[in-house]
A = this chain, B = another copy of it.
Amino acid sequence: MADPRFDPQDTDFANRVRASFERQDAMKTIGATLTKVEPGVVHIELRWAQALTQQHGFLHAGMLATALDSACGYCAFTLMPVEAAVLTIEYKINLLAPAKGERFRMEGVVIKPGRTVTVAEGRAYAIDAGKQKLIATMGCTLMAVVGRDGIKH
């Protein structure tokens, strides 16, 4: 997917994304790192680890989905106003091939930003011996939440 062009409402969006990402202990647990934060685009990478595997020794689809959902959520978040938090309403993931590889790149891209509801798409790639393969696609609906108790970005 070619990256879209969006104007962020808050020029400090990348710092907001990084600060929120740091507060997610689940991201530390799975070893995810933020590798790209641009307006409407976020990439997250994951390394293969035994602790994240399913019964065939591949990366568990849920771990992949966790990182891909985060990429979608944060790409939506880059375009939200400074006071908003982002919640995932729903997502759908198609698993195209086993998550077999040394590392994995999750790409989230905004398809349609909105005041309340944003739609994003995700792509997950497995990278093995320098070659990459599309292994999952995601469609994701996110919501900007302002002033809801206990929900901050």
Contact = CB atoms under 8 A, between A and B. Distances in A.
A67 interface: yes
Interface stretch (A6-14, A34-42, A109-117): A109-117
Contacts of A82: none
Name A's interface SS.
Answer: mixed
Contact of A55 (B50, B60, B152): B152
Contacts of A116: 116, 143
Size category of the binding interface on chain A:
35 or more
Interface in A49-102: 50-56, 60-63, 65-67, 69-70, 85, 87-98
A20 interface: yes
Most buried by B among A53, A54, A67: A54
A87 B95 contact: yes
A114 to B, nearest CB: 9
A133 B137 CA distance: 22
A97 B112 contact: yes
A121 interface: yes
Nearest to A87: B95
A87 to B, nearest CB: 7
Contact of A119 (B96, B112, B121): B96
B65 A65 contact: yes
